[in-house]
Every structure is written in C-alpha cells, then in structure tokens.
Amino acid sequence: FNKGDHTDSLYFILNGQCEAIQNNQHMVFISKGSIIGELNMIHKINRSHDLICVTTTCTILKLKNVDFTRVYNDYLHKKSSIIYQTLSRTELFQGLSKSSIRKIENLCTVRSFREGDLIVNKDEVGPNVYIIQCGSVTEDVYDDFSSIGELSPKSPQLSKYRCFGEETMLGDPYSSTVIANKYTKAIILDSNVLKSSLFENEKVRTLNRAVDKKQTVLKLKKLSKLKSNTSSRAHLIKNVSYDDYNSIFNAWI
C-alpha cells in the first residue's frame, strides 16, 4: 500500500520481509511475525507510510476492517465481562448496584505480574488499589515481627477476588509488601477516584472497615514491642481473625 491510502485492512507477515518508507526515506524493515496497520485500524486513520516487499517471496495474511472490528469488539466485551465479574465478587464492592459497578469498571486497567514480581512496597506512598483477577500474591504485613519469634505468623496469601492497597484511599502508605506467587493479573484502580465512587455510593463504612483491618494489625505490631510479656500473649493472637483484632487491641490498652 501507499501513504495516504484508506485503511481497509491490516496485515500479518507469515514469511519474508517488508520495508516501510516515508517521504522516500527508509523507516524500518518489518519481518515474519509482525502485524502492520493495527493502530491505523483502531484509530481510523489513513496509511502513514509506503510498504513494499523486499524479499523474493513474501506471504502476507490480510484481515479486512469489518472482520477486525468484530474480533476487536468481541475482545473488549470479553475483557469487560471478566473485570465486571471480578469487581462484583470483591468484598469492597458488595452491595453496589450493577450500574455502579459498571461505572467503576470503566475506571479500571489490568496489569500482569510474573512469579516473584514486586507489586507494592511497604511504607511506599502509592496511588492505586489492586484487585486480584487471577493468580495469587503474598502480603507481608508482619515483617517487623522477624525478631519476636512466636509473634511471626505466616504471611497471608491473597488470591482471586481479594484486594490490597485499600489504605491508600485514606492517604496512608502501603501497609505491606506484596509479591506475586505466580503469574497474576490484577485490576488497578486509582485510589482517589475509587474513593470518590465509593462515597457517592454510600460505601464509606465498607471502605473504613477494609482499611481498619490493616491499620489494627499495625497497632498490634507497635503495641507488641511495648509489652514486657509479649511472648506469653503470642499464642492468643496467632490464629485470631482480622475481625477480632480490634477487641484484642482495646483489651490491651
């Protein structure tokens, strides 16, 4: 094709090599496995350069605009359905109407992490809340307990539909270091935008409860270092649920 041509299809190079030329100057060689014209197709703009074959044989697969649009829309619909399903099953959004979740869905981005990837760092000031779409992570809330022995419970594992980073909605830094256990996809939401959405939907109590879970753990961590007989109490909180942390904390003050 030539520069300025209407974009009515995109191309997959199956073998051979092509050259992209703009204003009679070489831009780049494009080889086997490459896709040509997808951005022009998505943004509906004309060809931005000439394309010529530079090998003896060049096999190219052509995908017409109408077929590309159908495939692309199917992909967007599937992606949207997965995000919606994840949000609707996440505790933070329980009780919201379908229309409210759809609005939040439009604010989401999705990012993939490999096994061992660091997602967030404890005490780092971050702008995002993360919701696990697939895979799992380790949330190390207890790293300060490394020298206390009995008070060092196993770092919690978070899996599908669980979220972390809720404390950033209150302007606090991340309360834990989070690392991917395996290939993991996470839905990412801007904390301030999400906070506004939750307030509009009268989800303030749910927000505070989610954040308080982690804040209470931090209180216990600080308190444990002030108590002279911490080790004798360690067995009392080793297997206690988050919901009981506040009552334990208040009893110790």
Q: What is the pLDDT of residues 7-33, one digit of tens each?
A: 888 898 999 999 999 888 888 999 988
Compute how many other C-beta atoms are within 10 angstroms of the C-beta atom of residue 184. 25
Q: What is the pLDDT of residue 188?
A: 94
Tokens linked to 20: 């992209």
pLDDT tens for each residue of 159-217: 999 989 888 887 888 888 899 999 999 999 998 888 777 765 554 455 555 555 555 55
Q: What is the pLDDT of residue 100?
A: 83
Tokens linked to 121: 């760092």
Q: What is the pLDDT of residue 216?
A: 53
- Quote the mean pLDDT of the chain: 76
Q: Crossing angle, helix 204-226 and helix 191-200, to 10 degrees?
A: 120
Q: What is the pLDDT of residue 238?
A: 44
With a cut of 90, say whether residue 130 has pLDDT above it: yes
Burial of residue 215, with CB atoms counted within 10 A of its CB: 0-12 exposed, 13-18 middle, 19 or more buried:
middle
With a cut of 90, say whether residue 250 has pLDDT above it: no
pLDDT tens for each residue of 221-233: 544 444 444 444 4
pLDDT top residue among 132 and 56: 132
Show the CA angle centred on residue 181, arms to residues 176 and 182, nearest 5°.
145
pLDDT top residue among 196 and 58: 58
Compute how many other C-beta atoms are within 10 angstroms of the C-beta atom of residue 188. 16
